[in-house]
């Protein structure tokens, strides 16, 4: 935790740096939910540590500046998983919209990088729309992760189409095409493929996907050193990222990039957990890769406990870009029985039950679900039951739980999300408990929104395809008004699956009222530029004084709106927690 209390900490006004050294364009201090998550985890695991008071003081000073302490637990430990489910759904929709008919995604040679490679011509790295394992696997993983948690057959079909397409490849390539040529063999592509095929298997039980996960696990082995030169213990189990070079100039042979290896290691750990016939080698490799990253952590100096972006096995040169221990800790949590990511139990009825519990047993009888679970020692969390109707009652150890009307507290309670046909139950103990959910039936997961060609949203009965993508409570419609409430400092809602003619829409009018933070933004994506970025944005002030107002956004004046096919739109309603906005309608004209 020294990384968070010392080398990365800036001030009570600015928070933490994301790293030390590295590109200045990305090095902006902020209050980080994942750092607070790790500090809280340390207080749980090591409450008597000499530095525990220092960790507690830092948490107390920062926790109010973030929405929810979270890393990759998807808010199952401290927050509301429904928020994460909305974000994952929105992301899956974006990806499905950009997916080719055969299930693939191609290399975007026309991209215009706004970061460290700004101005670089990506056509030098490969032909436009080149398709490899690495251009597909991570996207499939994200779609299928949402499918697994939600039970969405529609999302599964989209992801499974990609899994089927990926079976044609024999070499993992093209997961790092922000700087590495498309043809280059790449360990990250192997890791992403293992992740994607495991999600497909967890959703469906299709053993073809498990066999593919094993195949890509083997494909990652050649990138990992299984020996070390004398005096270089950090070399053993070090992972080179690719068999090639960045921009054809910077060779990665003999140059360890351990964050790639850590991603691969975590994929191996999930494979071991899933495949009862997995050889002990997989776990041994994952453990070795994690230890290798620890060997690379600085033992003294201003970067104490940080570890480098790269470490050269021949020259011993460490990159002047040092990372926090966040990715190392994720693997460590797995090894010590405090798994960070939630796991899902799939019932024969199609209902899915997800939690971070160390132990979970589920039984269904008639209209009742019986769940016995135990969270890791010292921890609590939520249980997500997806694909069900609103229950008649929920009990914990025989005692009726109250229904939470809005955001969860730390007290035991339950809440039903009609947006997802999902039940969320808060458990505030690490003791073994029994949950009974009565009067519940299987409910099909709501369909993904279809494409729209007219920019007109009236919100008469439902959200009309808008999703709470980040730092927002699930969207609600009440008496023809869309109600939005922010939970953090970067709230935004999106409407994917659009097909608008930019030339036909000169202005967008929004009728709204509300209270809270004033800064607002409107983003969009296009067929030729599929990502949200700072080149396609209109900023405005939200008149949040409680009265109704009409905002006018002059989108037709923007050069990246005119002449474009608009494929998705995004609205950022404010820039602070606890902003409340009611939207009567959104209309293009």
Q: pLDDT digit of tens for each residue in the chain (589 aa)?
A: 999 999 999 999 999 999 999 999 899 999 999 999 999 999 999 999 999 999 999 999 999 888 789 999 999 999 889 888 888 988 898 899 889 999 999 999 988 776 788 888 999 999 999 999 999 999 999 999 999 999 999 999 999 999 999 999 999 999 999 999 999 999 999 999 999 999 999 999 999 999 999 999 999 999 999 999 999 999 999 999 999 999 999 999 999 999 999 999 999 999 999 999 999 999 999 999 999 999 999 999 999 999 999 999 999 999 999 999 999 999 999 999 999 999 999 999 999 999 999 999 999 998 999 999 999 999 999 999 999 999 999 999 999 999 987 666 678 999 998 888 999 999 999 999 999 999 999 999 888 888 899 999 999 988 999 988 888 887 889 999 999 988 878 889 999 889 999 999 999 999 999 887 678 999 998 887 777 888 899 999 888 888 999 999 999 999 999 999 999 999 999 888 888 999 999 999 9
Tokens of 579: 């902003």
pLDDT of residue 305: 97
CB half-sphere exposure, 489, CA atoms < 13 A: 8
CB half-sphere exposure, 80, CA atoms < 13 A: 26
CA-wise closest residue to 242 among 320, 175, 193, 291: 175
Return the H-helix or E-strand segment holding 210.
helix 207-220
CA-wise closest residue to 567 among 542, 532, 541, 539: 532
What contacts 414, CB < 8 A, 6 or more positions away?
391, 394, 401, 402, 403, 404, 423, 424, 425, 426
71 within 8 A of 30, measured Cβ to Cβ: no
288 within 8 A of 237, measured Cβ to Cβ: yes
CA distances from 192 to 136, 188, 210, 436 (A): 9, 6, 14, 37
User: Phi and psi (nearest 5°) for 321?
Assistant: -145, 105
Buried b (16+ CB within 10 A) or exposed e, 533-560: eeebebebebbbeeeeeebebebbebeb
pLDDT of residue 67: 76
370 within 8 A of 440, measured Cβ to Cβ: no
Instruction: 302-307: list long-range contacts, CB under 8 Å, 24+ apart.
Output: 302/7, 302/20, 303/7, 303/20, 304/2, 304/3, 304/6, 304/7, 305/2, 305/3, 305/7, 306/3, 306/7, 306/8, 306/19, 306/20, 307/258
pLDDT of residue 90: 84
pTM equals 0.88
Q: How many residues does the chain have?
A: 589
**Separation between Cα atoms, residue 283 and residue 385, nearest integer Å:** 30
SS3 state at 559: coil
CA distances from 108 to 128, 178, 562, 569 (A): 6, 10, 21, 20
CB half-sphere exposure, 345, CA atoms < 13 A: 20
pLDDT of residue 522: 96
pLDDT of residue 402: 94
Domains and CATH numbers, the chain: 2-19+27-62 (no CATH), 76-174+186-212 (no CATH), 224-341 (no CATH), 343-438 (2.60.220.10), 456-588 (2.60.120.260)
Gyration radius of the chain's alpha carbons:
24
- The CB density around residue 117, as the number of other CB atoms within 10 Å, is 16
82 within 8 A of 46, measured Cβ to Cβ: no
């Amino acid at each position: 935790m020294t990384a968070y209390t010392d080398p990365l900490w800036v001030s009570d006004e600015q928070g933490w740096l994301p790293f030390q050294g590295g590109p200045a364009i990305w090095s902006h201090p902020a209050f980080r939910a994942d750092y607070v998550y790790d500090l809280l985890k340390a207080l749980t695991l090591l409450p008597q540590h000499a530095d525990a008071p220092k960790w507690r003081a830092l948490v107390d000073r920062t926790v109010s500046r973030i929405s929810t302490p979270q890393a990759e637990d998807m808010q199952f430990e401290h927050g509301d998983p429904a928020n994460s489910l909305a974000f994952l759904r929105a992301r899956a929709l974006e990806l499905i919209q950009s997916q080719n008919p055969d299930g693939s995604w191609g290399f975007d040679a026309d991209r215009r990088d706004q970061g460290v490679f700004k101005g670089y011509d990506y056509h030098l790295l490969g032909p436009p729309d080149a398709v490899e394992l690495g251009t597909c696997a991570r996207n499939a993983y994200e779609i299928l992760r949402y499918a697994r948690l939600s039970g969405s057959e529609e999302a599964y079909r989209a992801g499974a189409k990609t899994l089927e397409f990926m079976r044609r490849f024999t070499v993992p390539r093209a997961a790092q095409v922000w700087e590495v040529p498309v043809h280059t063999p790449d360990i990250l592509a192997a890791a992403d493929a293992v992740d994607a095929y495991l999600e497909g298997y967890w959703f469906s039980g299709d053993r073809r996907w498990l066999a593919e996960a094993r195949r890509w696990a083997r494909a990652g082995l050649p990138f990992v050193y299984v020996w070390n030169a004398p005096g270089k213990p950090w070399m053993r189990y070090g992972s080179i990222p690719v068999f090639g070079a960045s921009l054809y100039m910077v060779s990665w042979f003999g140059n360890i990039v351990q964050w790639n290896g850590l991603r691969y290691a975590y994929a191996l750990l999930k494979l071991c957990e899933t495949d009862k016939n997995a050889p002990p080698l997989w776990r041994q490799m994952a453990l070795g890769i994690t230890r290798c990253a620890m060997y690379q952590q600085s033992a003294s100096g201003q970067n104490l406990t940080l570890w480098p972006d790269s470490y050269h096995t021949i020259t011993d040169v460490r990159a002047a870009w040092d990372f926090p221990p966040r990715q190392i800790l994720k693997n460590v949590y797995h090894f010590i029985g405090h798994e960070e990511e939630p796991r899902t139990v799939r019932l024969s009825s199609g209902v899915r039950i997800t939690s971070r519990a160390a132990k979970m047993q589920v039984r269904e009888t008639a209209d009742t679900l019986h769940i016995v679970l135990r969270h890791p020692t010292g921890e609590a969390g939520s249980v997500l039951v997806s694909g069900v109707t609103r229950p008649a009652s929920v009990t914990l150890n025989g005692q009726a739980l109250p229904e939470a009307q809005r955001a969860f507290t730390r007290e035991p309670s339950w809440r039903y999300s009609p947006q997802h046909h999902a039940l969320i139950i808060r458990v505030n103990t690490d003791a073994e408990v029994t949950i009974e959910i009565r009067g519940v039936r299987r409910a099909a997961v709501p369909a993904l929104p279809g494409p729209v060609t007219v920019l007109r949203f009236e919100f008469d009965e439902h959200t009309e395809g808008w999703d709470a993508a980040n730092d927002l409570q699930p969207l609600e419609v009440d008496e023809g008004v869309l109600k939005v409430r922010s939970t953090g400092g970067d709230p935004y809602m999106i409407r994917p699956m659009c097909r608008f003619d930019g030339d036909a829409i000169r202005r967008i009018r929004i009728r709204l009222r509300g209270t809270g933070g004033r800064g607002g933004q409107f983003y969009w994506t296009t067929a030729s530029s599929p990502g949200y970025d700072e080149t396609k944005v209109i900023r405005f002030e939200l008149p949040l004084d409680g009265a109704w107002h009409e905002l006018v956004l002059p989108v037709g004046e923007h050069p990246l709106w005119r002449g474009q096919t608009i494929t998705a739109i995004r609205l950022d309603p404010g820039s602070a927690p606890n902003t409340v906005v009611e939207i009567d309608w959104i209309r293009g004209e």
